Amino acid sequence: MDDLLRLGKEAVASQPFSVLIGAELTGLSPGQAELRVPVTPQLRQQHGFVHGGVISYAADNTLTAAGASVLGPEIVTSEYKINYLRPVVGAALVARATVVHSSRSQAVCRCDVFTVDGDSEVLCAVAQGTIVKMTPT
């Protein structure tokens, strides 16, 4: 495992909510990130679909990981938006983000979130966000 992925995995493991839902950073390279969340009954809403907040979490965390891959670890999400395309009903969520553009202080990233069941992936949400370097206070 390379150093960037190892650092990313450590960052996700240090987030109590990420640990609670079983999220795992499965890929991280310059300008790209992938996060996987297993779907459990506790993550579903009243209609049996994965709660939108969990899908949003996956997009946000993956956007941030992609941004960190080019900006460094001291970053936060400045803003993001998400479009839900279809309900998540599979065995897992997989979110994949790429950096669209970056400067010294910010990165604009795009994320596609898929519902996964076996070998089948179906796009369920798309997101875009701006990740910024934290400034000393």
- Asked whether residue 40 carries a pLDDT value surpassing 80, the answer given is yes
Please report which helix (H) or strand (E) contains residue 53, including its range. helix 52-71
User: How many domains does the chain divide into?
Assistant: 1
- Asked whether residue 137 carries a pLDDT value surpassing 90, the answer given is no
Domain interval for residue 33: 3-133
Tell me the pLDDT tens digit for each residue of 58-77.
Answer: 999 999 999 999 999 999 99
Give the N- to C-terminal CA distance of the chain in Å, as an integer. Answer: 34
Relative to beta strand 106-117, strand 75-84 is unpaired
Classify burial at 24, counting beta carbons within 10 Å of its beta carbon; exposed 0-12, middle 13-18, buried 19 or more.
middle
Percent of the chain past pLDDT 70, that is, above it, reads 99
Q: How far is residue 24's CA from residue 62's CA, in Å, rounded to a whole number?
A: 10
Q: How far is residue 137's CA from residue 129's CA, in Å, rounded to a whole number?
A: 23
Domain with residue 69: its CATH number is 3.10.129.10
Cα–chain center distance at 26: 10
Instruction: State the pLDDT confidence band at 89, using cuts at 50, 70 and 90.
Output: confident
- Model pTM greater than 0.85? yes
